[in-house]
Structure 1
Amino acid sequence: MDPYEKTAGLLAALELQLHEQGLWQTEPPSEAALSSTMPFAVDMLTCAEWLQWIFLPNMYHVLSERLPLPTAFCIYPYVEEAARQEPGLDAVLPAISALDDWLGGANA
């Protein structure tokens, strides 16, 4: 399977889980929140917001432009920690784990 197709499938699975857990939002956060310079925008966004409004759009851009896929990738520890505070986020951990496994070097 084409690595971009596989990545797209993994991102779609994550997006589906966010929807199914009621974590998907229809209104974006403020511009200020979206322009946070902190890792994962932890000072302004919840983990689910970061996944929806920053991570997924950036990854879809990588796919649409066929830019190099990341090979040093590890967001599971952040999402796992955030899941302790965000109800429903634990359900996305399998999708995050699959992304970490794939983008953490397996796609190289």
Structure 2
Amino acid sequence: MTSHEALMEALERLVATLRSVDMWRVEEPPAAAFDSQQPFCVDTMELPQWLRYVFVARLETLAETEAPLPATCSVAPAIDTWLKEASPSVRRVVTEAVAEVDRIVTEA
């Protein structure tokens, strides 16, 4: 299996996880929100919006087109911090799903 195929599978699992914890059904941010210069667009989006419309969307495009992947990816620590008020089970499953994506991108 290629790294792009592995990434697509990991992204599918992440989407399924986000759906299972009700973090996938979020409003699409306005176009201007994507112009943010802040990490994770923290000034213009909620983290679930960023996960869906930036993180997953961009990585899916890279995987589908077999484009070069980023040299590193370390999003899971930010997700874990953002979910500090969530239930332990939600925090764990979402962080683990994002960590899998991080690992695949970094090892590619």
Cα shift at 1:35: 2.4
CA RMSD of aligned residues (A): 1.8
1:15-49: CA deviation from partner (whole Å, max 9, x where unpaired): 11111111112531222223222110011212111
**Percent identical residues:** 24
**CA deviation map 1:44-84 (0-9, x unaligned):** 21211110011111111111221112231111111111111
Q: In structure 2, what is the Cα distance between the partners aligned to 1:48 and 1:26?
A: 7
Show the counterpart of 2:104: 102
The one-letter code matched in structure 2 to 1:63 is: A
Change (3 A) 1:71 1:15: same
Amino acid at match of 1:60: E
| TM-score (normalised: structure 2) | 0.85
Structure 2 Cα separation of the partners of residues 60 and 69 of structure 1: 11
Aligned to 1:24: 24
Equivalent-residue separation in structure 2 for 1:86 and 1:49 (angstroms): 16
3-state SS of 1:84 partner: helix
The number of aligned residues is 106
Unaligned runs of 5+ in 1: none
Q: Is the 8 A contact 1:4 1:66 kept in 2?
A: yes
